[in-house]
Amino acid sequence: MAKEPVAVTIDRVTRIYKNVKGRKDVVAVDDASFVVDPGELVTLLGPSGCGKTTTLRMIAGFDLPTKGAIRIGGEDVSSLPPNKRDTATVFQSYGLFPHMNVAENVAYGLRIRKVPKAEIDERVKRALALTGLADYAERSPGRLSGGQQQRVALSRSLVVEPGVLLLDEPLSNLDALLREQMRVEIRRIQKSLGITAVYVTHDRVEAMSLSDRVIVMKDGRIRQIGAPSVIYERPDSAFVAGFVGKVALFPVEVRGVDGDACACTLRGKAIKAGSRAPGAAAGSPAVLMARPESLRLGPPDQGVVDGTVRQNVYLGSSVESFVTTEYGELLVQIDDPAGKRIAAEGERVSVSFNEERVRVLPASAD
């Protein structure tokens, strides 16, 4: 299945659902722009109603942009129907044809494309082998497990060698273990085929572990685009920071900016944060974000914030310590706890920062 991968360009796309019966117009996607490079897997991540599925459906052609253009491999496809676009979608509910068996399901796209019979058989066989379904060709989809149905849907999309593979929360109907397996498998297949893919999910772990880049959306707007590590370590906003991982936020005053680093004060205590978001500048309200792994516990009065340990949760490779402070409950992660002294529940402690790791963000509502 060697085919030149193509790029997908979303160019200032807006989708407005007109009001029905006096209700207000809904702006599902608001002026979104991004480019998916050839062969790249990009995830659209966000809470439900953020516009990620609408964006995907517009790429597939099920929905039309109110404004803006969508280009696939340089061609403007904005007004083309789905059947004229070089995309293949794996649906959340799979959308398998109940009146056809597995092989017929997979062959459907090839039959539509009038591929010769012998070649269809050959390619269906290969696609089923790729997803480990070789033995289920004659089964009816209704008699397969959720994971197997998922694989049929994936094979059916891959067999037509689409320019772009679209995945709409494909794993949300599977149980946790299967989800993890399929995640790895989807990534393996996508990489081995070098296919351009857009993946929609509301699960941050899925997004982090699968993607080359993640696009975080909220209320129809794109909040940040970046590699998983960037999104996690260097979020631009409190919303993104909170959506992709556990985070503690402290209101701070920015005193001075030195390149990426940033000097600020938290209730008079000076902190030199290792990085700052572009929006954080002296004089504007800001928050300091710290991931659980950037926080340390120490004896009282020696850190930034004092508190009491409420509960320790032992996780093997780490201990999660919940500390009650004047800033609310903080989660402190203590890695490799073996041999370390862990403050007991009820003990007074202080929490200090790994200043290299903390980051100053603009304190907007989101």
Partner 1 sequence: MPLSEPFVFTKDKLLKFLLAIAVFAAVDLWVYSTVRSSLRANAAETRRNALVLLARSAPEDAGLRDDWLASIADSLPGGAAVYLIPDAEDPSAYEAIAVDEAALELWNGIASTDDAAKGLESAYYFENYASSVKATLSDTPVRLFYAPVTDDAQSELLGIAVFMAPETADSGLERLLTLFALGVFALFAAMTGVSRFSRDSTIGYAVLVLSGLAVVFIVFPLVEAFRLSFLTDGEYSLAIWTDALSGAHLQSLWGSIRLGIWTATASTLVGFLFAFVIYRTSARGKKFLSAIAQMPVISPPFSLTLSILLLAGNNGLITKQLLGLESFSIYGLGGLVLVQTIGMFPIAYLTLASVLQGLDATLEEAALDLNASRWSVFRTVTLPLAVPGILSAWLLVFTSSLADFANPLLLAGNYRVLSVEAYIQVTGRNDLGGGAALSLLLLLPTLTAFFVQRNWVSKRSFVTVTGKPNLKLVEIASPAVRIAMTAGVWLVIAFVLSLYGTIVAGCFVKNWGIDYSFTLSNIGEALSRGKDAIRSTLSLAVMATPIAGLIAMASAMIFVRKTFAGKRVLEAVMMTPFAIPGTLLGIAYILAFNKTPFLLVGTGAIIVINYIVRELPVGIEGGVASLRQIDPSIEEAARDLGADEGMVFKSIVLPLVRPAFISSMSYTFVRSMTAVSAVIFLISARWYHMTVLIYNFSENLRFGLASVLATTLIIIVMGAFGLMRLLVRDTGAFDKTLSR
User: Counting contacts by CB under 8 A, is residue 129 touching partner 1?
Assistant: no
Nearest-5° Cα angle at 243, 237 to 248: 70
Judged by CB under 8 A, the residue of 76, 112, 132, 284 near partner 1 is 112
Amino acid at 133: L
User: Counting contacts by CB under 8 A, is residue 143 touching partner 1?
Assistant: no
**Is the Cβ–Cβ distance between 108 and 100 less than 8 Å?**
yes
Residue keyed to tokens 């809904």 = 26
Q: Which is nearer to partner 1, 107 or 343 (CB)?
A: 107
User: Counting contacts by CB under 8 A, is residue 63 touching partner 1?
Assistant: yes
Q: Which is nearer to partner 1, 155 or 224 (CB)?
A: 155
Buried b (16+ CB within 10 A) or exposed e, 272-289: ebbbbbeebeeeeebbbb
Torsion angle of the four alpha carbons 95, 101, 107, 111, in this order, in degrees rounded to the nearest 10: -90
Footprint (CB under 8 A) of partner 1, residues 160-179: 160
Q: What's the min distance (Å) between Cβ of 341 and partner 1?
A: 54
Judged by CB under 8 A, the residue of 7, 34, 91, 347 near partner 1 is 91
User: Counting contacts by CB under 8 A, is residue 156 touching partner 1?
Assistant: yes
Judged by CB under 8 A, the residue of 33, 93, 181, 302 near partner 1 is 93
Judged by CB under 8 A, the residue of 9, 69, 71, 92 near partner 1 is 92
Per CB under 8 A, which region of 59-67, 169-177, 229-237, 329-337 contacts partner 1?
59-67
Q: How far is CA 13 from CA 32, 43, 55, 167, 316, in A?
A: 5, 17, 9, 20, 46
Per CB under 8 A, which region of 82-90, 242-250, 325-333, 344-352 contacts partner 1?
82-90
H or E, element range at 125? helix 117-130
User: Counting contacts by CB under 8 A, is residue 302 touching partner 1?
Assistant: no
Query: Strand 328-335 vs strand 318-325: parallel, antiparallel, or unpaired?
Result: antiparallel
| Euclidean distance between CA atoms 251 and 237, whole angstroms | 13
Buried b (16+ CB within 10 A) or exposed e, 318-330: ebbbbbebebeeb
Judged by CB under 8 A, the residue of 81, 132, 285, 299 near partner 1 is 81
Q: What's the min distance (Å) between Cβ of 33 and partner 1?
A: 21
User: Counting contacts by CB under 8 A, is residue 68 touching partner 1?
Assistant: no
Neighbours of 235 (CB within 10 A): 24
What mask, x for binding partner 1 by CB under 8 A, covers residues 238 to 257? --------------------
User: Counting contacts by CB under 8 A, is residue 17 touching partner 1?
Assistant: yes
User: Counting contacts by CB under 8 A, is residue 142 touching partner 1?
Assistant: no
User: Counting contacts by CB under 8 A, is residue 82 touching partner 1?
Assistant: yes
Q: Is 219 exposed, middle or buried (0-12, 13-18, 19+ CB in 10 A)?
A: middle
Q: What's the min distance (Å) between Cβ of 10 and partner 1?
A: 18
User: Counting contacts by CB under 8 A, is residue 19 touching partner 1?
Assistant: no
Total residues binding partner 1 (CB under 8 A): 31
User: Counting contacts by CB under 8 A, is residue 124 touching partner 1?
Assistant: no
**What does the block give as tokens for 102?**
């597995």
The greatest distance separating any two alpha carbons of the chain, rounded to the nearest whole angstrom, comes to 77
The residue count for the chain: 366
Q: Name 110's Cβ contacts closer than 8 Å, sequence gap at least 6.
A: 119, 120, 123, 124, 159, 160
Q: Which residues bind partner 1 (CB under 8 A)?
A: 17, 60-64, 79-83, 87-89, 91-99, 108-109, 112-113, 153, 156-157, 160
